Amino acid sequence: MDEFTYSNIFDTKGIEYLIIIAFLFLIIPFWLTLNKPLMMKEKIGLALSTLSENILRIPQGLFYSKNHTWTHLEMSGNATIGVDDLLLHLTGRVAMSNLKVPGESVAKGECIALLSQNGKQLKITSPLSGEIQNVNHSLSEKTGLINSDPYENGWIYKIKPDNWKDETSTFLFASQAIAWSKEELSRFKDFIAISLEKYAPETAKVVLQEGGELIDHPMAELPKELWNDFQTQFLNKLD
């Protein structure tokens, strides 16, 4: 009959294992407590990376054109113009190239600037007819300014309008602009779903999150051909 052997846990490494287990029971809750703010920050970051109407800046008091430009009539009689925040959330970081100089006359719907990103371009058309009074050269000197501050320091031109009243009669204002931006974002989702199948099916899961939500700056991941279609369907229109 085999002899029964008794081992005292304190005479072996068992006591060390018990100490390690007890340490883990203590340290895990402590670690979770310390990292709770980081986890929350990560969740907030993921939420903010989703493109929705809730993150769009739409200042009240400006007139918005359906070609994604805005304008504001100053007390001097000149009109400041720029591009809207929705367009910049769609494209991501872009470089701005001004195509006009002070003294030049422009017609409503005429190309006045280019937004560029890694060899891709969008043409920005003027929401007004008139004479260029001033050009914002800071946009070419400070990359990213137009994205971070499109309605203040990120304006593009100041124009002396030829026919302000008639040319802005169909523009969107205040609550109208908010409602239109929401509709435009929904229209873009339909556009992107079709375009991804056509040009970049492999990026569908990158651009569209679970539930069909868009990531912020979705066009940054997409090819030149899709940018060209976006130009035709979203920017080449007169109000």
- Provide the residue ranges of all domains of the chain, joining segments of one domain with +: 9-48, 57-239
Residue 214's SS3 state is strand
pTM, entire model: 0.78
Overall average pLDDT of the 19-37 stretch: 58
What tokens does 121 get? 């371009």
CA distance 82 to 53: 19
For residue 29, name the pLDDT band (cuts at 50, 70, 90): low
**Measured distance CA(193)–CA(204) in Å, rounded:** 8
Determine how many CB atoms are found less than 10 A away from the CB of residue 219. Answer: 23
pLDDT tens per residue across span 94-112: 999 999 999 999 999 999 9
Q: CATH says 57-239 is which class?
A: mainly beta
pLDDT digits (tens, 9 = 90+) for 157-187: 999 999 999 999 999 999 999 999 999 999 9
Between 234 and 53, name the one with better pLDDT. 234
